[in-house]
């Protein structure tokens, strides 16, 4: 569902020449959190993780510390480690930050030469086509995945590694907070129109408009999320 999320494999734990064991454990647990296997508020049992992966508890503890530093889990004294549940204000703050980053990424991408943006525009057009098909079938899960791919392509095109890392961290936390709502959306058509406008501004090489449209798109997504009828923030 997330464009940077790879499937975990037990084979990866048999070859750690280039990757620490703790990182492999972290990636495995991160995948379970982002896929909704481990849900907000759920306790992560260290012995169970160690037994399932065939490792000691040392790399599991180290992996959990890394996940805690990224804001996806929280350690509670004498209680254990739990998948974080984001408060309403934190979600609002994250959307504000994401609006700034999306807008900046769009501005940077639109400033590139048209021939450099040709591959990006092909990805965006393909993603919009897939979103149109998903919307016609009311397939929210598929729409949401394509929606994330659309935005991540623009962020990558900005060519700023720090931006990409910060953006990924923010979207991961927002993703976990709204997994439970992925079956209740009625905002796909509005979201689709916004994506088409963004792609058009990029094609025209209009940095200011890209910045404005992307920032407003994320703000609108947050507004849809906080309406009285629970909706998925498709952005």
Domains of the chain: 10-83 (1.10.10.10), 88-225 (1.20.120.530)
Cβ-proximal residues to 199 (8 Å cutoff; 6+ apart), any chain: 121, 124, 125, 128
Is residue 214 within 8 Å of residue 139, measured between CB atoms?
A: no
Phi (first) and psi of residue 5, to 5 degrees: -90, 120
Q: How confident is the model at residue 117 (pLDDT cuts 50, 70, 90)?
A: very high
- Mean pLDDT is lowest, of 7-16, 149-158, 223-232, for 7-16
* Three-state SS at 190: helix
- Between CA 216 and CA 214 the distance in angstroms is 5
**Is residue 7 predicted with pLDDT exceeding 60?**
no
Over residues 145-171, the pLDDT tens digits come to 899 999 999 999 999 999 999 999 999
In angstroms, the Cα distances linking 192 to 39, 130, 217 are: 28, 10, 10
Phi/psi class of residue 205: alpha, beta or left (left: φ > 0; alpha: ψ in -120 to 50)? left
- Mean pLDDT is lowest, of 74-88, 111-125, 172-186, 206-220, for 172-186
Whole-model pTM: value is: 0.83
Positive/negative CA dihedral, 209, 211, 215, 217 = positive
């Amino acid at each position: 569902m997330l464009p940077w999320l790879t499937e975990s494999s037990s084979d990866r734990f048999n070859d750690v020449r280039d990757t620490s064991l703790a990182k492999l454990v972290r990636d495995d647990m991160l995948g379970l959190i982002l896929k909704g296997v481990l849900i907000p508020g759920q306790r992560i049992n260290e012995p169970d993780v160690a037994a399932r992966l065939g490792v000691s508890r040392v790399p599991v503890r180290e992996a959990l510390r890394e996940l805690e530093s990224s804001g996806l889990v929280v350690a509670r004294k004498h209680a254990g480690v739990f998948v974080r549940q984001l408060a309403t204000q934190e979600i609002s703050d994250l959307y504000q930050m994401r609006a700034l980053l999306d807008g900046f990424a769009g501005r940077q991408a639109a400033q590139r030469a048209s021939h450099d943006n040709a591959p990006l525009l092909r990805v965006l057009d393909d993603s919009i086509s897939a979103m149109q098909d998903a919307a016609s079938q009311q397939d929210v899960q598929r729409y949401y995945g394509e929606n994330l791919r659309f935005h991540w392509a623009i962020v990558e095109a900005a060519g700023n590694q720090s931006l990409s890392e910060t953006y990924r961290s923010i979207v991961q936390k927002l993703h976990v907070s709204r997994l439970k709502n992925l079956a209740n959306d009625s905002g796909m058509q509005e979201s689709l129109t916004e994506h088409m406008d963004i792609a058009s501004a990029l094609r025209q090489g209009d940095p200011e408009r890209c910045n404005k449209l992307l920032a407003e798109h994320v703000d609108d997504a947050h507004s849809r999320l906080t309406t009285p009828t629970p909706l998925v923030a498709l952005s």
